[in-house]
């Protein structure tokens, strides 16, 4: 009994120490640096389940995006499969792990351009996340399933579906930077340049002026130089 109490106390202490790592990972992810967020979490994989779940989730998301460049070949998807297996081991005790696992299955399907299969996995992941949030609990860590849903539909060039997913994400979790960027991109793909310019302006105006500029911010700055954006800016009331 004493040994169990000691182990529990050590686990609690280690998870408290991991809070700083998770906060840093959230900050990096808010700057669209999922790889950096994942790397930061790698320092504390064995001591806290929450950190481990977040790490393997981000590991899978980064790997799945990379696999898309290679057509979702079996070799390119192997890191994603490893992350899915790691999350499966934790899904009985952690709803966040189960949501993350299903999201990675959707990301794996997206890497192979299997849109119908991807949609089924996303539907399941979003239902799980909505259930969690309705109970006042967190969904997928660092990047919600709702945000990833928009990203994946955008990745496979289903722009109307992407727009709907981002709008639902805005309703469910708020208009995060990732949602704002996604709505800007989908509006541009759909030819709604006024909306795209407005979203890109919102992304820049809400950006803290510190640190380096990620590619996404440079993308916004470049887009706003377009004639369509200059025209809408001139028409805006002062």
Name the band, by pLDDT with cuts 50, 70 and 90, for residue 233: low
* Other beta carbons within 10 Å of 109: 22
The predicted pLDDT at position 86 comes to 96
State pLDDT tens for residues 168-221.
Answer: 999 999 999 999 999 999 999 999 999 999 999 999 997 876 557 899 999 999
* Cα 122-124-128 angle, rounded to 5 deg: 115
Q: Which two structure tokens, joined as six digits, stand for 139?
A: 């969904």
Whole-structure pTM value: 0.90
In this prediction, residue 232 has a pLDDT band, given cuts at 50, 70 and 90, of low
Predicted confidence band of residue 10 (pLDDT cuts 50, 70, 90): very low
Q: 14 or 131: whose pLDDT is higher?
A: 131
% of the chain residues with pLDDT over 90: 78
Rounded to the nearest 10 degrees, the angle between the axes of helix 34-41 and helix 49-68 is 140
Report how far Cα 217 is from the mean position of its chain's Cα atoms. 17
| pLDDT confidence band for 163 (50 / 70 / 90) | very high
Whether the per-residue pLDDT at 164 is higher than 50: the answer is yes
Rounded CA-CA distance 182/233 in Å is 21
Q: Which residue has the tokens 């996604």?
A: 182
Helix ranges (H only) for 31-48 are 34-41
Q: What is the torsion angle, in degrees rounded to the nearest 10, for the CA atoms of residue 40, residue 43, residue 47 and residue 50?
A: 10
More confident residue, 131 or 209: 131
- Closest by CA to 119, choosing from 159, 161, 77, 83, is 161
| DSSP conformation class of 46 | S
> What is the C-alpha separation between 179 and 139, in angstroms, rounded?
16
Q: Please compute the mean of the pLDDT values over residues 224-234 and round it to a whole number.
A: 82
Best CA proximity match to 104, nearest among 148, 154, 167, 45 = 148
Can you give the pLDDT at residue 231?
76
Q: What is the pLDDT of residue 11?
A: 43
Nearest to 151, CA basis, from 162, 160, 140: 162
d(CA 92, CA 95): 7
> What is the reported pLDDT for 44?
77
């Amino acid at each position: 009994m004493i040994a169990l109490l000691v182990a529990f106390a050590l686990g609690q202490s280690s998870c408290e120490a991991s809070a700083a790592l998770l906060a840093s990972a959230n900050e990096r992810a808010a700057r669209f640096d999922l790889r950096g967020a994942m790397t930061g979490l790698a320092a504390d994989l064995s001591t806290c389940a929450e950190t481990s779940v977040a790490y393997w989730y981000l590991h899978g998301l980064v790997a799945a995006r990379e696999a898309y460049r290679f057509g979702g070949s079996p070799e390119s998807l192997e890191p994603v499969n490893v992350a899915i297996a790691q999350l499966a081991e934790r899904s009985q005790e952690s709803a966040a792990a189960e949501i993350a696992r299903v999201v990675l299955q959707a990301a794996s399907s997206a890497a192979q351009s299997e849109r119908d299969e991807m949609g089924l996995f996303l539907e399941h992941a979003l239902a799980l996340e909505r259930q969690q949030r309705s109970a006042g609990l967190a969904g997928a860590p660092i990047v919600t399933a709702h945000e990833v849903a928009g990203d994946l539909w955008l990745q496979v060039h289903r722009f109307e579906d992407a727009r709907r997913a981002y709008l639902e994400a805005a309703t469910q979790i708020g208009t995060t930077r990732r949602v704002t960027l996604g709505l800007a991109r989908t509006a541009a793909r759909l030819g709604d340049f006024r909306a795209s310019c407005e979203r890109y302006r919102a992304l820049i105006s809400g950006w803290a002026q510190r640190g380096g500029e990620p590619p996404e911010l440079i993308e916004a700055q470049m887009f706003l130089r377009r004639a369509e954006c200059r025209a809408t800016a001139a028409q805006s009331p002062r």
